[in-house]
Structure 1
Amino acid sequence: MLSLFFAVAERDLQLAWRRRSDIVNTMVFFVLIVSLFPLGIGADKALLQTIAPGIIWVAALLSSMLAAPRLFAGDYADGTLEQMLLSAEPLVVIVSAKILAHFLISGLPLVCISPLLALQFDLPLDAIAILVLSLLLGTPALSLTGAIGAALTLGVRGSAVLLSLLVLPLTIPVLIFGSGVFLAHSAGLDTTAYWYVLAGMLAALAVLAPVASSYSLRIMLD
């Protein structure tokens, strides 16, 4: 099982490296959304520091939705996904590996670049660290949720819009607690509960999302 998991993840990473433009497009979209707000709002330091977590989290969410349709689309188009469903290997393991690869391709680069973008909002270093940690917990949850939507809308006309309508309401709790931990830290409040909720949501999605995505793929391809 473990060898299968890493083999599928490595395959998806190699395919993504050959289509580097998709990774670049997601990062450019994220950078543009975050960078436009300071330009439009002005140089009010207090205002920028207040709105920074919400802007960065919303940008990360939208970037994740932009990348989500590609999770299964390539394998569906060339028939590889059907072969995966027909194989004797557990589909849940394959889907889990694909979700991990998707996060490494589309989510982790956003986390890595977020400290540089946070400097535009004149955030202190401790606040930037809190923001990065919250994104590190939250963006995998976005990828897991997006996988369910990508499986449900696979092969459907206008799937990108439909995926957003299905997934965005499910990601609101992640968005609320992801940005809320930063606001609580800025207000001098205890952030322990926020971290527990973020970690709990990630753990629950890590268990449920691959199973739900696997069943959805079988239903959509039957």
Structure 2
Amino acid sequence: MYDTMAQDGVPGGSPHIHLACGEAYVVIGGSGAVQTLSAAGFAEYELKSGTVLWFTPGTVHRLVNHGGLEIVVVMANSGLPEAGDAVLTFPPEVLADPDRYAEAVALPDGGRPGADITAAYRRRDLAIEGFQRLREGGPEALADFYAAAVRLKQSQLAGWRTRWRDGALRAATVTGEQLDALERGDPGHLLEAAVHAQPQPVEHGRLGMCGLLDTYPPPRN
């Protein structure tokens, strides 16, 4: 996780939401916290080695690094988060302008390993400015942020639906077919058992919203 100080004096990452995906953290080292904002209000949860924490779409989340925080992040929906499902908590005037949002969220060379990290810090600080305004504005400000986030992503929804249909929905459908087969006493799918392994991440140190990412692609059947 990023360990530099943001403009409010707290070290960590960029607050944001996911519109259609759940997210889970498995803490494997260090300590920190995650600050959240939802219709239930603001909350902060301690993170330490061994902690597992997960949340549903619409939860604004901001990771805080108290020292050496390392996390395994598991995302739902077969790569949908990487297809633009996240929205950073930029101020309303940025969210209202798709071109301005795209410029604010962009990273040099797409954030590939070795890219200029100061750009990630700049967009984090802008997201924290918006996050502070959301906390101060209460439920009405949060509702306005959700509405702006949905408008911002409307043009991408058809692609997201295709990814969901070919990934998460297909996996659930296959499970249903397997249960039907088991009820018939048919073990045929068991004969297709297989093992898949990926010994290393596909890249190390990609600039993420909350830290440097070692990334694994979503599994494909």
Instruction: Give the structure-2-normalised TM-score.
Output: 0.30
Q: Choose 1 or 2 for highest CA Rg.
A: 2
**Which structure has more strand as a fraction of its residues?**
2
The structure showing larger relative contact order (alpha-carbon pairs under 8 Å, at least 6 residues apart) is 1
**Which structure has more helix as a fraction of its residues?**
1
Instruction: Give the structure-1-normalised TM-score.
Output: 0.29
